Chain A
Amino acid sequence: MALGPWTVTGPWVPSQTSDALRRRYTRSIIVLAAILLPLLGLTILVGEPDTYFHAALNFINTFVASKGGPAWIGQAVLIIVPCSVVLTLIQVLPVFLVWWEMKIAAHIQVRLGPMRVGRFHGVLQTIADGIKLLLKEDLVPEGADKIVHFIAPLVAVAPALVCFAPIPLGHAGLAPVKLDVGLLFVLGVSGLSVIGLLMAGWGSNNKYSMLGGLRAAAQVVSYEIPRVIALLPVVMWAGSLSLGQIMDKQAGLWAGFLPKWFIFYPVVGQISFIIFLISSVAETNRTPFDIAEAESELTSGFHTEYSGMKWAMFFMAEYAYMFLACALGAVLFLGGGGALHPKLSFIPSYVWFFGKTFFLAFLFILFRWSYPRLRVDRLMEFCWKFLLPWSLANVALAGFLFLMMRSR
Chain B
Amino acid sequence: MTAAFPSPAGTVNERADSLLSGPSFETKMERISDHEMLLNMGPQHPSTHGVLRVVLKLDGETVTGAVPDLGYLHRGVEKLAENRTFGQFIILTDRDDYLCAMLNNWAYCLSIEKLLKVEIPQRAEYLRVIAGEMNRIASHLLFIGTFGIDIGAFTPFLYAFGREREMILDLFEQLCGARITYNYVRIGGVSNDLPEGWVEKAKKFVAHMQACLKEYDDLLSYNPIFMDRTKGIGVLPKEKAIAYGVSGPNLRASGVPLDLRKDAPYGIYSKFQFSPAVRQNGDCWDRYMVRRDEIAESCKILEQALDGIVAGEIMGKVPKVNLRPPVGEAYAQLEGARGLLGVYIVSDGGLSPYRLHLRAPSYINLATLQEILVGWKVADVVAILGSIDIVLGEVDR
Q: Which residues from chain A sit less than 8 Å from chain B, CB to CB?
A: 1-4, 6-12, 105, 108-111, 207-208, 211, 287-288, 290-291, 294-299, 369-378
Which chain A positions have C-beta within 8 A of B378? 211, 297-298
Q: When the two chains form their complex, are residues A372 and B229 in contact, meaning their CB atoms are under 8 A apart?
A: yes
Give the CA-CA distance A371 to B155 in the complex, in Å. 8
Q: When the two chains form their complex, are residues A109 and B45 in contact, meaning their CB atoms are under 8 A apart?
A: no
Q: A110-B162, A290-B152, A378-B229 are in contact. List 12 more A-B contacts (CB 8 A).
A: A1-B196, A105-B154, A109-B155, A111-B158, A288-B225, A294-B379, A299-B45, A370-B153, A371-B223, A372-B226, A373-B379, A375-B380
Q: When the two chains form their complex, are residues B228 and A374 in contact, meaning their CB atoms are under 8 A apart?
A: yes
B217 at the interface (CB under 8 A from A): no
Give the CA-CA distance A374 to B379 in the complex, in Å. 9
Give the CA-CA distance A371 to B152 in the complex, in Å. 8
Which chain B positions have C-beta within 8 A of A370? 153, 155, 219
Q: When the two chains form their complex, are residues A7 and B37 in contact, meaning their CB atoms are under 8 A apart?
A: no
Per-position 1/0 for B364-396, Cβ under 8 A of A: 000000000000011111100000000000000
Q: When the two chains form their complex, are residues A371 and B153 in contact, meaning their CB atoms are under 8 A apart?
A: yes
Query: Does more than half of chain B's interface fall in helix, strand or loop, or is it mixed?
Result: helix
B354 at the interface (CB under 8 A from A): no
List the count of A-B residue pairs having beta carbons below 8 Å apart: 112
Q: When the two chains form their complex, are residues A378 and B196 in contact, meaning their CB atoms are under 8 A apart?
A: no
Q: When the two chains form their complex, are residues B382 and A296 in contact, meaning their CB atoms are under 8 A apart?
A: yes
Give the CA-CA distance A374 to B151 in the complex, in Å. 8
Which chain A positions have C-beta within 8 A of B177? 4, 6
Give the CA-CA distance A105 to B157 in the complex, in Å. 13
Give the CA-CA distance A295 to B157 in the complex, in Å. 15
Q: How far is the CB of A288 from chain B (nearest CB, A)?
A: 6
Per-position 1/0 for B120-151, Cβ under 8 A of A: 00000000000000000000000000001111
Q: When the two chains form their complex, are residues A374 and B225 in contact, meaning their CB atoms are under 8 A apart?
A: yes
Which chain B positions have C-beta within 8 A of A7? 173-174, 195
Give the CA-CA distance A10 to B163 in the complex, in Å. 10
Given A2-B196, A374-B228, does the pair A297, B158 have CB atoms closer than 8 Å?
Answer: no
Contact of A1 among B151, B193, B380 (CB under 8 A): B193
B12 at the interface (CB under 8 A from A): no
B interface residue count range (under 10 / 10 to 19 / 20 to 34 / 35 or more): 35 or more
Give the CA-CA distance A292 to B135 in the complex, in Å. 37
Contact of A372 among B46, B148, B166, B377 (CB under 8 A): B148
Q: How far is the CB of A41 from chain B (nearest CB, A)?
A: 37
Interface residues of B in 177-191 (CB under 8 A from A): 177
Contact of B220 among A2, A297, A372 (CB under 8 A): A372
Q: When the two chains form their complex, are residues A376 and B162 in contact, meaning their CB atoms are under 8 A apart?
A: no
Given A371-B225, A374-B229, does the pair A110, B159 have CB atoms closer than 8 Å?
Answer: yes
Give the CA-CA distance A110 to B223 in the complex, in Å. 20
Q: How far is the CB of B170 from chain A (nearest CB, A)?
A: 4
B39 at the interface (CB under 8 A from A): yes
Which chain A positions have C-beta within 8 A of B318? none
Q: When the two chains form their complex, are residues A373 and B152 in contact, meaning their CB atoms are under 8 A apart?
A: yes
Which chain B positions have C-beta within 8 A of A375? 228-229, 377, 379-380
Give the CA-CA distance A287 to B61 in the complex, in Å. 20
Q: When the two chains form their complex, are residues B47 and A297 in contact, meaning their CB atoms are under 8 A apart?
A: yes
**B157, closest chain A residue (CB):** A109
Residue of A8, A111, A373 contacting most chain B CB atoms (<10 Å): A373
Residue of A4, A110, A297 contacting most chain B CB atoms (<10 Å): A297
Give the CA-CA distance A287 to B219 in the complex, in Å. 15
Give the CA-CA distance A234 to B194 in the complex, in Å. 68
Contact of A376 among B46, B154, B196, B377 (CB under 8 A): B377
Given A2-B196, A295-B46, A296-B46, does the pair A373, B225 have CB atoms closer than 8 Å?
Answer: yes
Interface residues of B in 61-120 (CB under 8 A from A): 61
Give the CA-CA distance A352 to B170 in the complex, in Å. 48
Q: How far is the CB of B321 from chain A (nearest CB, A)?
A: 24
Which chain B positions have C-beta within 8 A of A3? 174, 195-196
B306 at the interface (CB under 8 A from A): no
Q: When the two chains form their complex, are residues A376 and B152 in contact, meaning their CB atoms are under 8 A apart?
A: no
Q: How far is the CB of A365 from chain B (nearest CB, A)?
A: 12
B213 at the interface (CB under 8 A from A): no
Which chain B positions have C-beta within 8 A of A373? 151-153, 225, 229, 379
Q: When the two chains form their complex, are residues B159 and A296 in contact, meaning their CB atoms are under 8 A apart?
A: no
Q: When the two chains form their complex, are residues B379 and A8 in contact, meaning their CB atoms are under 8 A apart?
A: no
B167 at the interface (CB under 8 A from A): yes
Which chain B positions have C-beta within 8 A of A1? 193-196
Which 6 interchain pairs have the tightest Cβ spacing?
A373-B152, A10-B170, A372-B153, A109-B158, A296-B47, A372-B151
Contact of A110 among B37, B163, B225 (CB under 8 A): B163
Give the CA-CA distance A375 to B152 in the complex, in Å. 10
Which chain B positions have C-beta within 8 A of A297? 47, 378-379, 381-382
Give the CA-CA distance A376 to B163 in the complex, in Å. 32
Give the CA-CA distance A287 to B153 in the complex, in Å. 8
Give the CA-CA distance A176 to B170 in the complex, in Å. 57
Interface residues of B in 262-305 (CB under 8 A from A): none
Give the CA-CA distance A378 to B377 in the complex, in Å. 11
Which chain B positions have C-beta within 8 A of A287? 152, 154
Give the CA-CA distance A6 to B176 in the complex, in Å. 9
Q: When the two chains form their complex, are residues B377 and A4 in contact, meaning their CB atoms are under 8 A apart?
A: no
Given A1-B195, A296-B47, does the pair A6, B379 have CB atoms closer than 8 Å?
Answer: no
Which chain B positions have C-beta within 8 A of A296? 46-47, 149-152, 382
Q: When the two chains form their complex, are residues A372 and B223 in contact, meaning their CB atoms are under 8 A apart?
A: yes
Q: How far is the CB of B395 from chain A (nearest CB, A)?
A: 19
Q: How far is the CB of B142 from chain A (nearest CB, A)?
A: 15
| 29 contacts across the A-B interface (CB closer than 8 A) | A1-B193, A1-B195, A1-B196, A3-B195, A4-B195, A6-B174, A7-B173, A8-B170, A8-B173, A8-B174, A9-B170, A10-B170, A105-B154, A109-B158, A109-B159, A110-B158, A110-B163, A111-B158, A211-B61, A294-B152, A295-B46, A299-B45, A299-B46, A369-B154, A374-B225, A375-B377, A376-B61, A377-B377, A378-B228
Q: How far is the CB of A13 from chain B (nearest CB, A)?
A: 9
Give the CA-CA distance A108 to B219 in the complex, in Å. 12
Which chain B positions have C-beta within 8 A of A374? 225, 228-229
Give the CA-CA distance A375 to B381 in the complex, in Å. 11
**A300, closest chain B residue (CB):** B46
Q: How far is the CB of A299 from chain B (nearest CB, A)?
A: 6
**B225, closest chain A residue (CB):** A372
Given A8-B170, A11-B166, does the pair A2, B159 have CB atoms closer than 8 Å?
Answer: no
Give the CA-CA distance A291 to B152 in the complex, in Å. 9
Q: How far is the CB of A75 from chain B (nearest CB, A)?
A: 50
Give the CA-CA distance A287 to B148 in the complex, in Å. 13
Per-position 1/0 for B191-208, Cβ under 8 A of A: 001111000000000001
Which chain A positions have C-beta within 8 A of B220? 372
Q: How far is the CB of B340 from chain A (nearest CB, A)?
A: 29
Give the CA-CA distance A108 to B163 in the complex, in Å. 13
Which chain B positions have C-beta within 8 A of A10? 166-167, 170
Give the CA-CA distance A377 to B45 in the complex, in Å. 23
Give the CA-CA distance A109 to B47 in the complex, in Å. 21
Give the CA-CA distance A23 to B46 in the complex, in Å. 40
Q: How far is the CB of A293 from chain B (nearest CB, A)?
A: 10
Give the CA-CA distance A376 to B148 in the complex, in Å. 17
Give the CA-CA distance A7 to B193 in the complex, in Å. 14
Which chain A positions have C-beta within 8 A of B196? 1-3
